[in-house]
Structure 1
Amino acid sequence: MDSLQKRNNALNANPMVNTVATDNHITVRGSDWYFAVTAVMVVSTFVFMGLSFRKPRSQRLFHYITAAITLVAAIAYFSMGANLGWTAIRVEFERSDPKVAGLMRQIFYVRYIDWFVTTPLLLLDLLLTCGLPTPTIVYTILINEIMIITGLVGALVKSSYKWGYYVFGCVAFFFVAYTVVFEGRAHARALGNDILKTYTICGVWTIGLWFLYPIAWGVSEGGNVIASDSEAVFYGILDLLAKPVFGALLIWGHRNIDLARLGLHVNEPTETGMPGGEKRSANAHSNTNTTAANDTTATTV
Protein backbone atom coordinates (compact mmCIF):
# COMPACT_ATOMS: atom_id res chain seq x y z
CA MET A 1 0.00 0.00 0.00
CA ASP A 2 2.84 2.40 0.82
CA SER A 3 4.41 1.83 -2.61
CA LEU A 4 1.05 2.51 -4.27
CA GLN A 5 0.65 5.75 -2.36
CA LYS A 6 4.10 6.85 -3.51
CA ARG A 7 3.00 6.45 -7.13
CA ASN A 8 -0.43 8.03 -6.64
CA ASN A 9 -0.59 10.79 -4.04
CA ALA A 10 -4.14 11.93 -4.85
CA LEU A 11 -5.68 10.56 -1.64
CA ASN A 12 -3.04 12.26 0.48
CA ALA A 13 -3.45 15.58 -1.32
CA ASN A 14 -7.27 15.30 -1.14
CA PRO A 15 -8.02 13.27 2.02
CA MET A 16 -11.22 11.47 2.99
CA VAL A 17 -12.62 14.39 4.93
CA ASN A 18 -15.41 16.46 3.42
CA THR A 19 -18.15 17.69 5.74
CA VAL A 20 -17.51 14.54 7.78
CA ALA A 21 -14.97 11.73 7.64
CA THR A 22 -15.84 8.44 5.95
CA ASP A 23 -14.30 4.98 6.11
CA ASN A 24 -16.36 3.68 3.16
CA HIS A 25 -14.45 5.19 0.23
CA ILE A 26 -12.12 4.45 -2.66
CA THR A 27 -8.55 3.33 -2.05
CA VAL A 28 -5.44 4.03 -4.09
CA ARG A 29 -6.46 1.18 -6.39
CA GLY A 30 -9.78 2.88 -7.06
CA SER A 31 -8.02 6.16 -7.74
CA ASP A 32 -5.63 4.43 -10.16
CA TRP A 33 -8.58 2.90 -12.00
CA TYR A 34 -10.30 6.28 -12.32
CA PHE A 35 -7.12 7.79 -13.75
CA ALA A 36 -6.82 4.88 -16.20
CA VAL A 37 -10.35 5.52 -17.45
CA THR A 38 -9.45 9.21 -17.74
CA ALA A 39 -6.58 8.31 -20.05
CA VAL A 40 -8.85 6.22 -22.30
CA MET A 41 -11.38 9.05 -22.49
CA VAL A 42 -8.68 11.58 -23.40
CA VAL A 43 -7.21 9.35 -26.13
CA SER A 44 -10.71 8.68 -27.49
CA THR A 45 -11.38 12.42 -27.68
CA PHE A 46 -8.24 13.00 -29.75
CA VAL A 47 -9.08 10.04 -32.01
CA PHE A 48 -12.63 11.25 -32.70
CA MET A 49 -11.43 14.79 -33.38
CA GLY A 50 -8.64 13.46 -35.60
CA LEU A 51 -11.08 11.37 -37.61
CA SER A 52 -13.24 14.45 -38.17
CA PHE A 53 -10.53 15.92 -40.43
CA ARG A 54 -11.18 13.13 -42.91
CA LYS A 55 -14.59 14.66 -43.58
CA PRO A 56 -15.66 18.08 -44.91
CA ARG A 57 -16.55 20.58 -42.21
CA SER A 58 -20.24 20.25 -43.03
CA GLN A 59 -20.09 16.49 -42.27
CA ARG A 60 -18.36 16.57 -38.87
CA LEU A 61 -21.38 17.00 -36.58
CA PHE A 62 -21.31 13.48 -35.14
CA HIS A 63 -17.54 13.60 -34.64
CA TYR A 64 -17.88 16.81 -32.63
CA ILE A 65 -20.74 15.50 -30.47
CA THR A 66 -18.97 12.21 -29.79
CA ALA A 67 -15.66 13.90 -28.94
CA ALA A 68 -17.51 16.20 -26.52
CA ILE A 69 -18.94 13.14 -24.74
CA THR A 70 -15.53 11.61 -24.04
CA LEU A 71 -13.99 14.98 -23.17
CA VAL A 72 -16.58 15.68 -20.45
CA ALA A 73 -16.19 12.11 -19.18
CA ALA A 74 -12.41 12.57 -19.03
CA ILE A 75 -12.81 15.64 -16.79
CA ALA A 76 -15.24 13.79 -14.50
CA TYR A 77 -12.98 10.74 -14.19
CA PHE A 78 -9.96 12.92 -13.53
CA SER A 79 -11.93 14.54 -10.69
CA MET A 80 -12.86 11.17 -9.21
CA GLY A 81 -9.30 9.88 -9.58
CA ALA A 82 -8.11 12.97 -7.72
CA ASN A 83 -10.70 12.20 -5.00
CA LEU A 84 -12.68 15.36 -5.71
CA GLY A 85 -16.34 16.01 -6.45
CA TRP A 86 -17.77 13.83 -3.67
CA THR A 87 -19.64 14.03 -0.40
CA ALA A 88 -20.23 11.60 2.47
CA ILE A 89 -23.79 10.29 2.92
CA ARG A 90 -25.03 8.08 5.74
CA VAL A 91 -25.86 4.62 4.45
CA GLU A 92 -29.33 3.15 4.79
CA PHE A 93 -27.99 -0.39 5.18
CA GLU A 94 -25.04 -0.97 7.52
CA ARG A 95 -22.99 -3.99 6.46
CA SER A 96 -20.73 -6.29 8.46
CA ASP A 97 -18.37 -6.79 5.51
CA PRO A 98 -15.18 -4.80 6.27
CA LYS A 99 -15.05 -3.60 2.65
CA VAL A 100 -18.30 -1.66 3.09
CA ALA A 101 -18.13 -1.04 6.83
CA GLY A 102 -18.89 2.34 8.32
CA LEU A 103 -21.88 4.62 8.62
CA MET A 104 -20.87 7.06 5.86
CA ARG A 105 -20.38 6.18 2.18
CA GLN A 106 -18.49 8.26 -0.36
CA ILE A 107 -20.84 9.51 -3.11
CA PHE A 108 -19.31 11.04 -6.24
CA TYR A 109 -21.79 13.69 -7.34
CA VAL A 110 -19.39 14.68 -10.14
CA ARG A 111 -20.38 11.41 -11.83
CA TYR A 112 -23.93 12.69 -12.18
CA ILE A 113 -22.73 16.05 -13.51
CA ASP A 114 -20.93 14.03 -16.19
CA TRP A 115 -24.07 12.07 -17.02
CA PHE A 116 -26.23 15.22 -17.00
CA VAL A 117 -24.09 16.54 -19.87
CA THR A 118 -23.07 13.38 -21.72
CA THR A 119 -26.26 11.30 -21.80
CA PRO A 120 -28.20 14.02 -23.72
CA LEU A 121 -25.29 14.13 -26.19
CA LEU A 122 -25.43 10.35 -26.54
CA LEU A 123 -29.15 10.57 -27.23
CA LEU A 124 -28.53 13.39 -29.68
CA ASP A 125 -26.08 11.17 -31.57
CA LEU A 126 -28.68 8.43 -31.74
CA LEU A 127 -31.85 10.40 -32.40
CA LEU A 128 -30.30 12.59 -35.07
CA THR A 129 -29.11 9.41 -36.78
CA CYS A 130 -32.65 8.12 -37.11
CA GLY A 131 -34.10 11.51 -38.08
CA LEU A 132 -36.59 11.88 -35.24
CA PRO A 133 -38.54 15.18 -35.23
CA THR A 134 -36.95 17.93 -33.14
CA PRO A 135 -39.82 18.14 -30.58
CA THR A 136 -39.49 14.39 -29.89
CA ILE A 137 -35.72 14.71 -29.46
CA VAL A 138 -36.09 17.62 -27.04
CA TYR A 139 -38.78 15.88 -24.99
CA THR A 140 -36.78 12.64 -24.81
CA ILE A 141 -33.70 14.51 -23.62
CA LEU A 142 -35.81 16.26 -20.95
CA ILE A 143 -37.06 12.89 -19.66
CA ASN A 144 -33.47 11.66 -19.68
CA GLU A 145 -32.43 14.60 -17.48
CA ILE A 146 -35.17 13.62 -15.02
CA MET A 147 -33.62 10.15 -14.94
CA ILE A 148 -30.18 11.53 -14.07
CA ILE A 149 -31.39 14.05 -11.50
CA THR A 150 -33.54 11.52 -9.63
CA GLY A 151 -30.52 9.19 -9.53
CA LEU A 152 -28.41 11.93 -7.97
CA VAL A 153 -31.05 12.94 -5.43
CA GLY A 154 -31.63 9.32 -4.48
CA ALA A 155 -27.90 8.81 -3.96
CA LEU A 156 -27.78 11.82 -1.61
CA VAL A 157 -30.78 10.68 0.49
CA LYS A 158 -29.96 8.55 3.54
CA SER A 159 -33.45 7.18 4.23
CA SER A 160 -35.54 4.62 2.38
CA TYR A 161 -37.08 7.49 0.41
CA LYS A 162 -34.08 7.15 -1.90
CA TRP A 163 -35.86 4.22 -3.52
CA GLY A 164 -38.76 6.46 -4.46
CA TYR A 165 -36.36 8.53 -6.55
CA TYR A 166 -34.95 5.28 -7.90
CA VAL A 167 -38.40 4.29 -9.17
CA PHE A 168 -38.93 7.71 -10.79
CA GLY A 169 -35.58 7.33 -12.52
CA CYS A 170 -36.39 3.84 -13.78
CA VAL A 171 -39.74 4.97 -15.17
CA ALA A 172 -38.00 7.81 -17.00
CA PHE A 173 -35.45 5.35 -18.36
CA PHE A 174 -38.14 3.05 -19.74
CA PHE A 175 -39.66 6.02 -21.58
CA VAL A 176 -36.28 6.84 -23.12
CA ALA A 177 -35.71 3.18 -24.00
CA TYR A 178 -39.11 2.98 -25.72
CA THR A 179 -38.34 6.05 -27.81
CA VAL A 180 -34.95 4.71 -28.87
CA VAL A 181 -35.98 1.11 -29.54
CA PHE A 182 -39.38 1.59 -31.18
CA GLU A 183 -39.88 5.15 -32.44
CA GLY A 184 -36.26 5.60 -33.44
CA ARG A 185 -36.06 2.36 -35.43
CA ALA A 186 -39.29 3.16 -37.25
CA HIS A 187 -37.86 6.47 -38.45
CA ALA A 188 -34.45 4.95 -39.27
CA ARG A 189 -36.08 2.25 -41.41
CA ALA A 190 -37.55 4.94 -43.66
CA LEU A 191 -34.10 6.47 -44.28
CA GLY A 192 -32.41 3.38 -45.72
CA ASN A 193 -30.92 0.06 -44.72
CA ASP A 194 -27.45 1.46 -43.97
CA ILE A 195 -28.87 4.06 -41.58
CA LEU A 196 -31.15 1.47 -39.99
CA LYS A 197 -28.19 -0.86 -39.45
CA THR A 198 -26.04 1.84 -37.87
CA TYR A 199 -28.88 3.05 -35.67
CA THR A 200 -29.89 -0.45 -34.57
CA ILE A 201 -26.34 -1.44 -33.60
CA CYS A 202 -25.70 1.78 -31.65
CA GLY A 203 -29.20 1.94 -30.17
CA VAL A 204 -29.27 -1.66 -28.93
CA TRP A 205 -25.72 -1.26 -27.60
CA THR A 206 -26.65 1.88 -25.65
CA ILE A 207 -29.96 0.74 -24.20
CA GLY A 208 -28.53 -2.67 -23.31
CA LEU A 209 -25.75 -1.01 -21.31
CA TRP A 210 -28.10 1.54 -19.76
CA PHE A 211 -30.13 -1.33 -18.29
CA LEU A 212 -27.09 -2.17 -16.16
CA TYR A 213 -26.70 1.28 -14.63
CA PRO A 214 -29.70 0.91 -12.26
CA ILE A 215 -28.18 -2.37 -11.10
CA ALA A 216 -24.86 -0.64 -10.41
CA TRP A 217 -26.72 2.10 -8.50
CA GLY A 218 -28.69 -0.44 -6.50
CA VAL A 219 -25.60 -2.30 -5.23
CA SER A 220 -23.50 0.81 -4.58
CA GLU A 221 -25.11 4.17 -3.73
CA GLY A 222 -28.45 2.52 -3.05
CA GLY A 223 -27.89 -0.74 -1.18
CA ASN A 224 -24.27 -0.33 -0.02
CA VAL A 225 -23.53 -3.90 -1.12
CA ILE A 226 -20.22 -3.48 -2.96
CA ALA A 227 -17.13 -1.51 -1.98
CA SER A 228 -16.34 1.89 -3.46
CA ASP A 229 -13.46 0.42 -5.50
CA SER A 230 -15.83 -2.16 -6.97
CA GLU A 231 -18.31 0.62 -7.69
CA ALA A 232 -15.55 2.45 -9.56
CA VAL A 233 -14.82 -0.61 -11.72
CA PHE A 234 -18.52 -1.33 -12.37
CA TYR A 235 -19.36 2.22 -13.49
CA GLY A 236 -16.01 2.63 -15.24
CA ILE A 237 -16.48 -0.42 -17.47
CA LEU A 238 -20.02 0.66 -18.30
CA ASP A 239 -18.88 4.18 -19.19
CA LEU A 240 -16.01 2.89 -21.35
CA LEU A 241 -18.44 0.73 -23.30
CA ALA A 242 -21.16 3.41 -23.45
CA LYS A 243 -18.88 6.25 -24.58
CA PRO A 244 -15.62 5.42 -26.41
CA VAL A 245 -16.85 2.07 -27.78
CA PHE A 246 -20.25 3.53 -28.66
CA GLY A 247 -18.50 6.46 -30.33
CA ALA A 248 -16.34 4.14 -32.42
CA LEU A 249 -19.40 2.18 -33.58
CA LEU A 250 -21.29 5.37 -34.42
CA ILE A 251 -18.45 7.08 -36.30
CA TRP A 252 -17.77 3.90 -38.27
CA GLY A 253 -21.46 3.60 -39.16
CA HIS A 254 -21.58 7.23 -40.32
CA ARG A 255 -18.52 6.98 -42.57
CA ASN A 256 -20.63 6.89 -45.78
CA ILE A 257 -23.80 8.62 -44.57
CA ASP A 258 -24.39 12.17 -45.76
CA LEU A 259 -26.03 14.45 -43.21
CA ALA A 260 -28.54 15.62 -45.81
CA ARG A 261 -30.11 12.16 -45.77
CA LEU A 262 -30.89 12.72 -42.09
CA GLY A 263 -32.53 16.08 -42.76
CA LEU A 264 -29.47 17.92 -41.46
CA HIS A 265 -28.11 20.74 -43.60
CA VAL A 266 -24.84 22.41 -42.60
CA ASN A 267 -23.33 24.95 -44.99
CA GLU A 268 -19.66 24.79 -45.87
CA PRO A 269 -17.66 27.89 -44.79
CA THR A 270 -17.57 30.48 -47.59
CA GLU A 271 -15.46 33.19 -46.02
CA THR A 272 -12.18 34.02 -47.73
CA GLY A 273 -9.34 32.36 -45.88
CA MET A 274 -11.31 29.22 -45.02
CA PRO A 275 -10.55 25.98 -46.89
CA GLY A 276 -12.09 26.40 -50.34
CA GLY A 277 -13.30 29.84 -49.40
CA GLU A 278 -11.25 31.75 -52.01
CA LYS A 279 -12.48 29.53 -54.81
CA ARG A 280 -16.10 29.93 -53.73
CA SER A 281 -15.67 33.67 -53.32
CA ALA A 282 -14.17 33.91 -56.81
CA ASN A 283 -17.05 31.92 -58.26
CA ALA A 284 -19.52 34.12 -56.43
CA HIS A 285 -17.77 37.24 -57.76
CA SER A 286 -17.80 35.81 -61.28
CA ASN A 287 -21.49 34.98 -61.00
CA THR A 288 -22.19 38.51 -59.78
CA ASN A 289 -20.34 40.02 -62.75
CA THR A 290 -22.16 37.75 -65.19
CA THR A 291 -25.50 38.71 -63.67
CA ALA A 292 -24.63 42.38 -63.87
CA ALA A 293 -23.58 42.05 -67.53
CA ASN A 294 -26.80 40.28 -68.39
CA ASP A 295 -28.80 42.99 -66.66
CA THR A 296 -26.93 45.66 -68.68
CA THR A 297 -27.58 43.82 -71.93
CA ALA A 298 -31.23 43.44 -71.08
CA THR A 299 -31.49 47.13 -70.34
CA THR A 300 -29.74 48.08 -73.58
CA VAL A 301 -32.08 45.93 -75.64
Structure 2
Amino acid sequence: MANDALDSNPPNATYHLSTHGSDWLWAAFSIFGVSLLAVVGLTFSRPRGSRLFHQIAVVVLTTGSLAYFSMASDLGATPVPVEFRGDGTRQIWYVRYINWFITFPLLLLELLLATGLSLSDIFTTLFMAVVLVITGLVAALVPSTYKWGYYVFGVAALFYIWYVYHRYVLLWHGPHTTFAAGGALRRGYLFAAGYLSLLLLIYPIAWACAEGGNVISVTSEMIWYGILDIFAGPIFLFFFLWELRGVDYASFGLHSGKYTDKSAFHPQTTQATGSPSTGAAGNV
Protein backbone atom coordinates (compact mmCIF):
# COMPACT_ATOMS: atom_id res chain seq x y z
CA MET A 1 0.00 0.00 0.00
CA ALA A 2 2.89 2.34 0.77
CA ASN A 3 4.32 1.94 -2.74
CA ASP A 4 0.89 2.62 -4.24
CA ALA A 5 0.49 5.75 -2.12
CA LEU A 6 3.91 7.14 -3.02
CA ASP A 7 3.39 6.29 -6.68
CA SER A 8 0.01 7.99 -6.77
CA ASN A 9 1.18 10.96 -4.71
CA PRO A 10 4.90 11.46 -5.44
CA PRO A 11 6.96 13.24 -2.76
CA ASN A 12 7.26 16.97 -3.37
CA ALA A 13 10.53 17.73 -1.55
CA THR A 14 14.20 16.72 -1.47
CA TYR A 15 13.87 15.23 2.03
CA HIS A 16 10.64 13.29 1.93
CA LEU A 17 8.66 10.36 3.27
CA SER A 18 10.02 6.90 2.44
CA THR A 19 8.14 3.69 1.75
CA HIS A 20 8.94 2.41 5.25
CA GLY A 21 7.68 5.69 6.71
CA SER A 22 4.42 5.32 4.82
CA ASP A 23 4.09 1.73 6.09
CA TRP A 24 4.45 2.97 9.66
CA LEU A 25 1.86 5.69 9.09
CA TRP A 26 -0.63 3.14 7.77
CA ALA A 27 -0.05 1.11 10.95
CA ALA A 28 -0.63 4.23 13.08
CA PHE A 29 -3.77 4.99 11.06
CA SER A 30 -5.03 1.46 11.80
CA ILE A 31 -4.46 1.99 15.53
CA PHE A 32 -6.40 5.24 15.46
CA GLY A 33 -9.15 3.73 13.31
CA VAL A 34 -9.66 0.65 15.50
CA SER A 35 -9.56 2.83 18.63
CA LEU A 36 -12.18 5.12 17.10
CA LEU A 37 -14.54 2.21 16.41
CA ALA A 38 -14.06 0.92 19.96
CA VAL A 39 -14.80 4.32 21.52
CA VAL A 40 -17.86 4.81 19.30
CA GLY A 41 -19.16 1.47 20.61
CA LEU A 42 -18.45 2.54 24.19
CA THR A 43 -20.19 5.86 23.55
CA PHE A 44 -23.43 4.23 22.44
CA SER A 45 -23.29 1.94 25.46
CA ARG A 46 -23.59 5.02 27.68
CA PRO A 47 -27.02 6.53 28.40
CA ARG A 48 -27.86 9.76 26.57
CA GLY A 49 -26.84 12.77 28.58
CA SER A 50 -23.69 11.12 29.92
CA ARG A 51 -21.52 10.88 26.81
CA LEU A 52 -19.50 14.11 26.86
CA PHE A 53 -16.11 12.56 27.74
CA HIS A 54 -16.65 9.73 25.26
CA GLN A 55 -17.71 12.13 22.52
CA ILE A 56 -14.61 14.27 23.06
CA ALA A 57 -12.60 11.08 22.58
CA VAL A 58 -14.52 10.35 19.38
CA VAL A 59 -13.62 13.79 18.00
CA VAL A 60 -9.94 13.35 18.92
CA LEU A 61 -9.68 9.89 17.37
CA THR A 62 -11.63 10.86 14.24
CA THR A 63 -9.31 13.82 13.66
CA GLY A 64 -6.24 11.67 14.28
CA SER A 65 -7.48 8.98 11.90
CA LEU A 66 -8.01 11.52 9.11
CA ALA A 67 -4.57 13.06 9.72
CA TYR A 68 -2.77 9.73 9.63
CA PHE A 69 -4.67 8.58 6.56
CA SER A 70 -3.54 11.76 4.81
CA MET A 71 0.10 11.43 5.87
CA ALA A 72 0.25 7.72 5.03
CA SER A 73 -1.05 8.64 1.57
CA ASP A 74 1.75 11.24 1.26
CA LEU A 75 -0.80 14.06 1.30
CA GLY A 76 -0.99 17.18 3.45
CA ALA A 77 2.65 18.31 3.15
CA THR A 78 4.40 21.25 1.52
CA PRO A 79 8.10 21.70 0.64
CA VAL A 80 10.08 24.23 2.70
CA PRO A 81 13.80 25.07 2.24
CA VAL A 82 15.90 23.32 4.86
CA GLU A 83 18.20 24.86 7.42
CA PHE A 84 21.53 23.35 8.56
CA ARG A 85 21.64 20.75 5.76
CA GLY A 86 22.64 22.74 2.68
CA ASP A 87 20.32 23.10 -0.28
CA GLY A 88 17.05 21.33 -0.81
CA THR A 89 13.59 21.23 0.69
CA ARG A 90 11.89 19.19 3.39
CA GLN A 91 8.30 18.04 3.58
CA ILE A 92 6.44 19.97 6.28
CA TRP A 93 3.23 18.21 7.24
CA TYR A 94 0.64 20.93 7.85
CA VAL A 95 -2.05 18.25 8.19
CA ARG A 96 -0.33 17.16 11.40
CA TYR A 97 -0.70 20.67 12.85
CA ILE A 98 -4.38 20.77 11.87
CA ASN A 99 -4.74 17.54 13.83
CA TRP A 100 -2.95 18.99 16.86
CA PHE A 101 -4.88 22.28 16.63
CA ILE A 102 -8.07 20.30 17.24
CA THR A 103 -6.86 17.49 19.48
CA PHE A 104 -4.41 19.13 21.93
CA PRO A 105 -7.00 21.49 23.46
CA LEU A 106 -9.56 18.66 23.56
CA LEU A 107 -7.19 16.34 25.40
CA LEU A 108 -6.62 19.05 28.01
CA LEU A 109 -10.36 19.71 28.17
CA GLU A 110 -11.03 16.00 28.74
CA LEU A 111 -8.74 16.14 31.76
CA LEU A 112 -9.72 19.52 33.19
CA LEU A 113 -13.49 19.02 33.08
CA ALA A 114 -13.09 16.42 35.82
CA THR A 115 -11.47 18.85 38.25
CA GLY A 116 -14.20 21.40 38.92
CA LEU A 117 -11.82 24.22 37.93
CA SER A 118 -13.18 27.60 36.87
CA LEU A 119 -13.99 28.15 33.20
CA SER A 120 -11.47 31.00 33.07
CA ASP A 121 -8.63 28.67 34.11
CA ILE A 122 -9.71 26.05 31.60
CA PHE A 123 -10.09 28.62 28.81
CA THR A 124 -6.58 30.02 29.35
CA THR A 125 -5.06 26.54 29.34
CA LEU A 126 -6.78 25.66 26.06
CA PHE A 127 -5.73 28.97 24.50
CA MET A 128 -2.07 28.30 25.33
CA ALA A 129 -2.39 24.87 23.69
CA VAL A 130 -3.60 26.61 20.53
CA VAL A 131 -0.67 29.06 20.71
CA LEU A 132 1.72 26.13 21.04
CA VAL A 133 0.42 24.46 17.87
CA ILE A 134 0.16 27.61 15.76
CA THR A 135 3.66 28.80 16.59
CA GLY A 136 4.98 25.34 15.77
CA LEU A 137 3.31 25.42 12.36
CA VAL A 138 4.50 28.94 11.53
CA ALA A 139 8.03 28.09 12.68
CA ALA A 140 8.07 24.95 10.51
CA LEU A 141 7.03 26.97 7.44
CA VAL A 142 9.64 29.72 7.97
CA PRO A 143 12.88 28.80 6.14
CA SER A 144 15.14 31.28 7.96
CA THR A 145 16.50 31.34 11.49
CA TYR A 146 13.49 33.46 12.49
CA LYS A 147 11.69 30.13 12.92
CA TRP A 148 13.43 29.79 16.28
CA GLY A 149 11.73 32.96 17.49
CA TYR A 150 8.36 31.30 16.96
CA TYR A 151 9.75 28.18 18.56
CA VAL A 152 10.59 30.17 21.71
CA PHE A 153 7.04 31.57 21.81
CA GLY A 154 5.67 28.04 21.51
CA VAL A 155 7.92 26.68 24.24
CA ALA A 156 6.92 29.60 26.48
CA ALA A 157 3.25 28.71 25.91
CA LEU A 158 4.04 25.08 26.72
CA PHE A 159 5.79 25.97 29.94
CA TYR A 160 2.85 28.18 30.84
CA ILE A 161 0.65 25.11 30.46
CA TRP A 162 3.07 22.76 32.16
CA TYR A 163 4.51 24.84 34.97
CA VAL A 164 1.69 27.24 35.82
CA TYR A 165 -1.13 24.84 35.03
CA HIS A 166 0.23 21.30 34.89
CA ARG A 167 2.23 22.03 38.05
CA TYR A 168 -0.16 24.41 39.78
CA VAL A 169 -3.49 23.45 38.22
CA LEU A 170 -3.02 19.82 37.23
CA LEU A 171 -0.44 18.60 39.69
CA TRP A 172 -1.30 20.91 42.57
CA HIS A 173 -4.41 23.05 42.29
CA GLY A 174 -6.43 20.46 40.37
CA PRO A 175 -5.83 17.60 42.82
CA HIS A 176 -6.59 19.92 45.75
CA THR A 177 -9.83 21.30 44.34
CA THR A 178 -13.14 19.68 45.08
CA PHE A 179 -13.31 17.31 42.17
CA ALA A 180 -16.46 17.45 40.12
CA ALA A 181 -16.80 13.73 40.72
CA GLY A 182 -15.66 13.83 44.31
CA GLY A 183 -12.61 11.70 45.13
CA ALA A 184 -13.42 8.94 42.67
CA LEU A 185 -11.11 10.31 39.98
CA ARG A 186 -8.31 11.66 42.15
CA ARG A 187 -5.84 8.77 41.76
CA GLY A 188 -6.43 8.34 38.04
CA TYR A 189 -6.37 12.10 37.54
CA LEU A 190 -2.94 12.46 39.16
CA PHE A 191 -1.51 9.74 36.94
CA ALA A 192 -3.15 11.12 33.78
CA ALA A 193 -1.97 14.68 34.53
CA GLY A 194 1.63 13.60 35.03
CA TYR A 195 1.50 11.32 32.00
CA LEU A 196 0.18 14.05 29.68
CA SER A 197 2.61 16.61 31.13
CA LEU A 198 5.57 14.39 30.27
CA LEU A 199 4.35 13.76 26.72
CA LEU A 200 3.83 17.46 26.06
CA LEU A 201 7.43 18.17 27.01
CA ILE A 202 8.73 15.65 24.44
CA TYR A 203 6.96 17.24 21.45
CA PRO A 204 9.22 20.36 21.25
CA ILE A 205 12.30 18.10 21.41
CA ALA A 206 10.98 16.13 18.44
CA TRP A 207 10.22 19.37 16.58
CA ALA A 208 13.74 20.73 17.12
CA CYS A 209 15.23 17.51 15.71
CA ALA A 210 12.79 17.29 12.78
CA GLU A 211 11.26 20.40 11.20
CA GLY A 212 13.51 22.75 13.10
CA GLY A 213 17.07 21.45 12.85
CA ASN A 214 16.64 18.77 10.16
CA VAL A 215 18.71 16.42 12.30
CA ILE A 216 16.52 13.38 11.66
CA SER A 217 14.90 12.14 8.46
CA VAL A 218 11.23 12.58 7.60
CA THR A 219 10.65 8.87 8.24
CA SER A 220 12.26 9.09 11.69
CA GLU A 221 10.13 12.16 12.35
CA MET A 222 7.00 10.19 11.48
CA ILE A 223 7.96 7.35 13.81
CA TRP A 224 8.72 9.72 16.71
CA TYR A 225 5.59 11.83 16.34
CA GLY A 226 3.48 8.75 15.66
CA ILE A 227 4.52 7.09 18.92
CA LEU A 228 3.83 10.31 20.82
CA ASP A 229 0.41 10.75 19.19
CA ILE A 230 -0.59 7.16 19.94
CA PHE A 231 0.39 7.53 23.59
CA ALA A 232 -1.31 10.93 23.85
CA GLY A 233 -4.37 9.84 21.89
CA PRO A 234 -5.73 6.27 22.04
CA ILE A 235 -3.75 5.09 25.09
CA PHE A 236 -4.45 8.19 27.19
CA LEU A 237 -8.14 8.25 26.22
CA PHE A 238 -8.74 4.56 26.95
CA PHE A 239 -7.11 4.93 30.35
CA PHE A 240 -9.13 8.02 31.20
CA LEU A 241 -12.43 6.55 30.03
CA TRP A 242 -11.66 3.40 32.03
CA GLU A 243 -11.24 5.54 35.14
CA LEU A 244 -14.65 7.10 34.43
CA ARG A 245 -16.49 3.79 34.20
CA GLY A 246 -17.74 3.78 37.79
CA VAL A 247 -18.24 7.54 38.25
CA ASP A 248 -21.72 9.00 38.49
CA TYR A 249 -21.90 11.41 35.53
CA ALA A 250 -24.38 13.65 37.34
CA SER A 251 -21.65 14.52 39.85
CA PHE A 252 -19.79 16.50 37.17
CA GLY A 253 -22.59 19.06 37.05
CA LEU A 254 -22.53 19.20 33.25
CA HIS A 255 -26.02 20.34 32.29
CA SER A 256 -27.43 21.22 28.90
CA GLY A 257 -31.08 22.16 29.22
CA LYS A 258 -31.57 21.08 25.61
CA TYR A 259 -32.85 17.81 24.23
CA THR A 260 -33.19 15.87 27.44
CA ASP A 261 -35.32 18.51 29.12
CA LYS A 262 -38.91 17.41 29.46
CA SER A 263 -39.94 20.86 28.25
CA ALA A 264 -38.18 20.18 24.93
CA PHE A 265 -40.58 17.33 24.28
CA HIS A 266 -43.61 18.76 26.11
CA PRO A 267 -44.14 22.43 25.17
CA GLN A 268 -47.18 22.58 27.42
CA THR A 269 -44.84 22.35 30.42
CA THR A 270 -43.15 25.56 29.31
CA GLN A 271 -46.48 27.29 28.75
CA ALA A 272 -47.70 26.29 32.17
CA THR A 273 -44.70 27.62 33.99
CA GLY A 274 -44.11 30.64 31.80
CA SER A 275 -40.44 29.78 31.19
CA PRO A 276 -38.50 26.81 29.90
CA SER A 277 -37.27 24.23 32.33
CA THR A 278 -33.57 23.93 33.09
CA GLY A 279 -33.46 20.29 33.96
CA ALA A 280 -30.54 18.76 35.81
CA ALA A 281 -29.80 16.13 33.22
CA GLY A 282 -28.22 17.49 30.07
CA ASN A 283 -27.58 16.02 26.67
CA VAL A 284 -23.89 16.88 26.83
Contact 1:198 1:254 in 2 (8 A): no
Instruction: State the Cα deviation string for residues 34-63 of structure 1 (Å, max 9, x = none).
Output: 111111111111111111233211111100
Residue from 197, 202, 217 that aligns with 2:187: 197
Letter in 2 for 1:44: S
Letter in 2 for 1:8: N
Distance (whole Å) between structure 1 residues aligned to residue 57 and residue 89 of structure 2: 36
Matched, 1:13 2:8: yes
Residue from 163, 167, 183 that aligns with 1:181: 167
Residue from 110, 116, 130 that aligns with 1:145: 130
Contact 1:59 1:266 in 2 (8 A): no
Ranges in structure 1 where 5+ consecutive residues have no aligned partner? 1-5, 96-101, 289-301
Contact 2:2 2:72 in 1 (8 A): no
Letter in 1 for 2:248: D
SS for the counterpart of 1:57 is coil
Instruction: State the Cα deviation string for residues 221-271 of structure 1 (Å, max 9, x = none).
Output: 001011111000000000000000000111011112223323322567367
Instruction: State the Cα deviation string for residues 81-121 of structure 1 (Å, max 9, x = none).
Output: 111111111111116xxxxxx52111101100000011111
Distance (whole Å) between structure 1 residues aligned to residue 121 and residue 42 of structure 2: 30
Residues 171 and 7 of structure 1, relative CA distance in 2, 3 Å threshold: closer
Between 1:179-188 and 1:31-40, the stretch displaced more is 179-188
Which one has the largest radius of gyration? 1
Between 1:39-48 and 1:255-264, the stretch displaced more is 255-264
Q: What's the counterpart of residue 84 of structure 2?
A: 93
Letter in 2 for 1:14: N
Residue from 39, 53, 56 that aligns with 1:65: 56
Letter in 2 for 1:50: G
Distance (whole Å) between structure 1 residues aligned to residue 129 and residue 3 of structure 2: 36
Matched, 1:218 2:218: no
4+ residue stretches of structure 1 with deviation over 6 A?
Answer: none
Distance (whole Å) between structure 1 residues aligned to residue 46 and residue 61 of structure 2: 20
Q: What's the counterpart of residue 280 of structure 2?
A: none
Contact 1:90 1:158 in 2 (8 A): yes
Distance (whole Å) between structure 1 residues aligned to residue 239 and residue 168 of structure 2: 20
Between 1:48-57 and 1:189-198, the stretch displaced more is 189-198
Residues 266 and 195 of structure 1, relative CA distance in 2, 3 Å threshold: farther
- Tell me the number of residue pairs that the alignment of Structure 1 and Structure 2 aligns: 263
Contact 1:44 1:67 in 2 (8 A): no
Q: Report deviation, 1:77.
A: 0.6
Residue from 230, 236, 256 that aligns with 1:240: 230
RMSD: 2.2
Q: What's the counterpart of residue 43 of structure 2?
A: 52
Distance (whole Å) between structure 1 residues aligned to residue 43 and residue 93 of structure 2: 33
Distance (whole Å) between structure 2 residues aligned to residue 31 and residue 7 of structure 1: 5
Matched, 1:209 2:204: no
Residues 9 and 244 of structure 1, relative CA distance in 2, 3 Å threshold: same
Q: Report deviation, 1:198.
A: 2.2
Ranges in structure 2 where 5+ consecutive residues have no aligned partner? 273-284
Residues 7 and 167 of structure 1, relative CA distance in 2, 3 Å threshold: closer
Contact 2:2 2:73 in 1 (8 A): no
Contact 2:42 2:54 in 1 (8 A): yes
SS for the counterpart of 1:186 is helix
